[in-house]
Amino acid sequence: MSDIRHLIRTSDFSTQEIITLFHNALHYKQLLMSKTPTHQPLKHKNVITIFFENSTRTLSSFELAVKNLGGDILRLDVSRSSTSKGETISDTAANLNAMNPDAIIIRHRNAGAGYYLSAHVNCPIINGGDGAHSHPTQALLDLLTIIEHFGLEELQTLKNADTIAPFAPLDSIKGKKIAIVGDVVNSRVANSNIELLTRFGMEVILVAPPHFLPQTSLRTSDNLKAIAQEVDVIMSLRTQTERHDQVIYGSLKDYASRFCVTKEIVGNNPCIILHPGPVHRNIDIDDEVLKDSRSKVLEQVTNGVCVRMAALDFLIA
């Protein structure tokens, strides 16, 4: 039981493991792009998905990843599950565990839900997002998208390296600047990216109105226009209205007038623009920028499937 590995937060994977994971993800990407069938490392493996919060991308991405590797998916319909009849999550966990799954992928509104579950089961737990805490596969796919743009060749050179530096293993990524823009304090995506991207040597600048900023030692700003000129990556985030107890800003329109990533804000900066989705169009990023070749939003979705395939392969097979 102690050998079981989980993916609850990005720090569960060493830098060396992440580099190997990226090599595998890119291998899977090549196969998917050329429609070449992969070997089936998850054949006869059962993976349960249990999502207590809404999801389009993450759930379908995980399910596709399992299927691409030949595994079987059992999606628990939470609205009809016994937790909605008052069963505690540890009882739900015990029951799921009794079905002998090979992995459970969970999303929950409470921070720590995946970690809690991991103590009650005999299989890997993959966190598909817990409250405002962590969303490790999202951060991994974001970093892969950044590396594909700035450091793909260097990543390939590490393919057979015996040891990988635990901090800033890629010179082409080290020192690159990223602005994480938006509702940072409520964002698990921001949290996971801050750990992962700083580990890879990037400088993270948080750009938001004061009520969306966490307490942090990172550089912060409320001037997107100025910061947008000096960064290599802009990561826009959605305002997490479902996590706001009270309305803490005038209106989304006011917010957008200062924090929407527009053509004017980006100017001629040859940066790339990321967003985990769902995008609030013209509030987070405007229509024109979404169509711009610097926007890698759909590339992130493609990379999401490949990163999740590599993570499932690593944890289960």
Q: Which of 114, 136, 151, 277 binds ligand NCD (CB under 6 A)?
A: 277
Instruction: Tell the smallest beta-carbon distance from residue 138 to ligand NCD (Å).
Output: 5
Give 236's contacts (C-beta < 8 A, 6+ positions apart).
181, 182, 261, 273, 274, 275, 279, 284, 285
Work out whether 135 is an interface residue with ligand NCD (CB under 6 A): yes
Mask for 43-82, x = binds ligand NCD (CB under 6 A): --------------xx------------------------
Work out whether 136 is an interface residue with ligand NCD (CB under 6 A): no
Q: Which is nearer to ligand NCD, 138 or 193 (CB)?
A: 138
Q: Which is nearer to ligand NCD, 45 or 280 (CB)?
A: 280
The residue among 172, 135, 157, 174 whose CA lies nearest residue 311 is: 135
Q: Which of 21, 69, 181, 189 binds ligand NCD (CB under 6 A)?
A: 189
* Distances in whole angstroms, Cα of residue 58 to Cα of each of 25, 63, 127, 251, 300: 16, 9, 11, 28, 11
Q: Which amino acid is at 188?
A: R
Q: Which is nearer to ligand NCD, 45 or 135 (CB)?
A: 135
Q: Which of 6, 9, 188, 296 binds ligand NCD (CB under 6 A)?
A: 188
What is the number of the residue whose Cβ is closest to ligand NCD? Answer: 238
Footprint of ligand NCD on 1-20 (CB under 6 A)? none
Work out whether 182 is an interface residue with ligand NCD (CB under 6 A): no
Helix/strand/coil for 281: strand
Q: Which of 124, 129, 136, 151 binds ligand NCD (CB under 6 A)?
A: 129
Instruction: Tell the smallest beta-carbon distance from residue 242 to ligand NCD (Å).
Output: 9
* Tokens of residue 72, six digits: 């079987």
Helix/strand/coil for 233: strand
List strands edge to edge, sheet with 46-51.
72-76, 46-51, 103-108, 125-130
Q: Which of 6, 9, 238, 296 binds ligand NCD (CB under 6 A)?
A: 238
Assign residue 245 a region (left: φ > 0; alpha: ψ between -120 and 50; beta: otherwise).
alpha
The residue among 284, 279, 274 whose CA lies nearest residue 232 is: 274
Binding site for ligand NCD (CB under 6 A): 57-58, 129, 135, 138, 188-189, 238, 276-277
